[in-house]
């Protein structure tokens, strides 16, 4: 396991020391099992129990909520240190920790939660005792989220919640869901929405799987049939949930080191080229001019993305406004990732066909015999990756954000 920060950046001595500590920790605590699951997972997040194993390692080290305010368990790392950690962890093969608790609802509870909510929920998010999912999107309310129809009607010290959510990632693993629900009809769509924390074991909650194109069970539909939710589970003020949703979406779209996923995908593509036969006998694809050209072009775009990532870090470090940079990075990163994965499938050629049978969670398939190892999970990643330009804000919506920012 070797760390390799993208490009050649010069680090201050204290950051070099921090990087050594990060690498030592990864070396000691990132098991081969977890790295394998991460390598072969075709979905965005690795399933439990592998993600839980990694969560526990970070929790024991005190690094699981590194981005939270220090008062609630954050590490107080500088933007550069966050970048070092996030890049090195991904490059060493660590999976992304399921983010719905740690990165999404956790920061909202820190910022807007009541004293009781902070005391009760934050330790359970840190320890991984609660597994959360995000109940925002509905059929008919995705990009236009504020047109959501799920209702929460006050009845004494409870809300009665009725409606449905869709594309709910990992709802089948979760015991808690945070939901946007309409508590009143106002003239402006964004008003009258409230942010509720709901126990998935409450009577009236049901989960239906949605199978992805790649054959994975990652997303779901969640139904609420007159579910009773204690009023103490309302976050912030009733009818003001849109502010919390916007705060959460900033976390969802920012952070991380998105260029690293493209870098890893590019290395998988390079590996395919090094292992697949070229047009003439004895030659490999990596020796073919058109493939070298394609690899070079993709490499240049990955490097450009790495520079953009670093520009974000520099802006954060200097306390400057990020503006639409997060949207630019999200759009370029998700579109580039799709192109690299498509190039991988095309390079695999006929080897991609038997790999179709092994789409889905490749780490769960013991016999991958008909598929050469360099082709494992490639098709699944390509098919699932098509969603990357939709979730977390579709590309068209991001472009609108960027254009509005540029003409301000």
Ligand X SMILES: Cc1cc2nc3c(=O)[nH]c(=O)nc-3n(C[C@H](O)[C@H](O)[C@H](O)COP(=O)(O)OP(=O)(O)OC[C@H]3O[C@@H](n4cnc5c(N)ncnc54)[C@H](O)[C@@H]3O)c2cc1C
Interface residues with ligand X (CB under 6 A) are 133-137, 142-143, 167-169, 219, 387, 390-391, 394, 396-397
283: tokens are 């030659």
Least distance to ligand X, CB of residue 166, Å: 7
Compare residues 97 and 387 and give the one whose CB is closer to ligand X: 387
* Residues 6 or more apart in contact with residue 402 via CB below 8 angstroms: 324, 327, 328, 331
- Length in residues, the chain: 408
Compare residues 135 and 163 and give the one whose CB is closer to ligand X: 135
Least distance to ligand X, CB of residue 387, Å: 4
> How far is residue 132's CA from residue 170's CA, in Å, rounded to a whole number?
8
Residue 71, Cα to own-chain centre: how many angstroms? 25
Compare residues 27 and 404 and give the one whose CB is closer to ligand X: 404
Which of 327, 379, 314, 316 has its CA nearest to residue 353?
379
> How far is residue 395's CA from residue 16's CA, in Å, rounded to a whole number?
36
Least distance to ligand X, CB of residue 256, Å: 16
* Residues 6 or more apart in contact with residue 147 via CB below 8 angstroms: 140, 141, 189
Least distance to ligand X, CB of residue 204, Å: 19
- The two counts, helices (H) then strands (E), for the chain are 14, 8
Position of minimal CB gap to ligand X = 142
237: tokens are 């003020």
* Residues 6 or more apart in contact with residue 158 via CB below 8 angstroms: 228, 229, 230, 231
Least distance to ligand X, CB of residue 243, Å: 17
Compare residues 136 and 363 and give the one whose CB is closer to ligand X: 136
Compare residues 38 and 331 and give the one whose CB is closer to ligand X: 331
Cis peptide before 373 (omega within 30 of 0): no
Per DSSP, 188 falls in state S
Return the SS3 of 399: helix
Least distance to ligand X, CB of residue 185, Å: 21
CB 5, CB 84: distance < 8 Å: yes
Least distance to ligand X, CB of residue 137, Å: 3
Least distance to ligand X, CB of residue 405, Å: 16
> How far is residue 150's CA from residue 371's CA, in Å, rounded to a whole number?
45
Compare residues 30 and 248 and give the one whose CB is closer to ligand X: 248
Least distance to ligand X, CB of residue 120, Å: 23
> How far is residue 127's CA from residue 385's CA, in Å, rounded to a whole number?
30
Compare residues 44 and 273 and give the one whose CB is closer to ligand X: 44
CB 322, CB 315: distance < 8 Å: yes
> How far is residue 355's CA from residue 223's CA, in Å, rounded to a whole number?
35
CB 84, CB 15: distance < 8 Å: yes
Return the SS3 of 235: strand
Least distance to ligand X, CB of residue 135, Å: 6
Compare residues 73 and 380 and give the one whose CB is closer to ligand X: 380
Compare residues 68 and 167 and give the one whose CB is closer to ligand X: 167
- Phi and psi of 9, rounded to 5°? -100, 145
Compare residues 65 and 150 and give the one whose CB is closer to ligand X: 150
């Amino acid at each position: 396991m070797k760390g390799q920060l993208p490009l050649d950046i010069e680090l201050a001595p204290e950051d070099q020391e921090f990087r050594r500590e990060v690498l030592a920790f990864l070396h000691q605590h990132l098991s081969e099992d977890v790295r394998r699951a991460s390598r072969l997972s075709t979905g965005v997040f690795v399933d439990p129990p592998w993600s839980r194993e990694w969560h526990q390692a970070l929790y024991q080290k005190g690094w699981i909520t590194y981005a939270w305010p220090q008062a609630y368990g954050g590490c107080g790392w500088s933007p550069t240190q966050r970048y070092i950690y996030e890049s090195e962890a991904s490059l060493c093969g660590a999976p992304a920790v399921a983010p719905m608790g740690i990165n999404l609802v956790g920061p909202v509870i820190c910022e807007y939660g009541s004293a009781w909510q902070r005391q009760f929920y934050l330790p359970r998010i840190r320890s991984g005792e609660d597994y959360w999912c995000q109940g925002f999107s509905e059929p008919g309310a995705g990009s236009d989220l504020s047109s959501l129809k799920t209702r929460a009607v006050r009845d004494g010290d409870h809300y009665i919640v009725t409606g449905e959510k869709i594309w709910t990632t990992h709802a089948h693993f979760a015991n808690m869901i945070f939901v946007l629900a309409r508590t009143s009809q106002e003239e402006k769509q964004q008003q009258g929405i409230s942010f509720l924390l709901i126990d998935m074991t409450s009577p009236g909650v049901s989960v239906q799987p949605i199978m992805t194109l790649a054959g994975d069970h990652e997303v779901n539909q969640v139904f609420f049939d007159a579910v009773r939710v204690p009023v103490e589970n309302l976050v912030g003020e009733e009818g003001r949930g849109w502010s919390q949703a916007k705060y959460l979406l900033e976390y969802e779209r920012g952070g991380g080191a998105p260029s690293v996923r493209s870098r890893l995908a590019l290395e998988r593509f390079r590996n395919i080229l090094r292992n697949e036969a070229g047009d003439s006998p004895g030659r490999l694809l990596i020796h073919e001019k058109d493939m070298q050209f394609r690899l070079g072009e993709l490499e240049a775009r990955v490097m450009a993305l790495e520079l953009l990532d670093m520009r974000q870090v520099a802006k954060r470090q200097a306390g400057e406004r990020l503006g639409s940079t997060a949207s630019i990075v999200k759009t370029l990163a998700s579109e580039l990732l799709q192109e690299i994965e498509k190039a991988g499938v095309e390079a695999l050629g006929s080897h991609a066909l038997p790999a179709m049978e092994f789409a889905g969670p490749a780490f769960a398939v013991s016999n991958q015999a008909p598929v050469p190892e360099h082709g494992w999970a490639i098709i699944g990643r390509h098919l699932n990756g098509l969603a990357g330009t939709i979730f977390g804000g579709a590309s068209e919506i991001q472009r609108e954000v960027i254009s509005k920012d540029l003409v301000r």
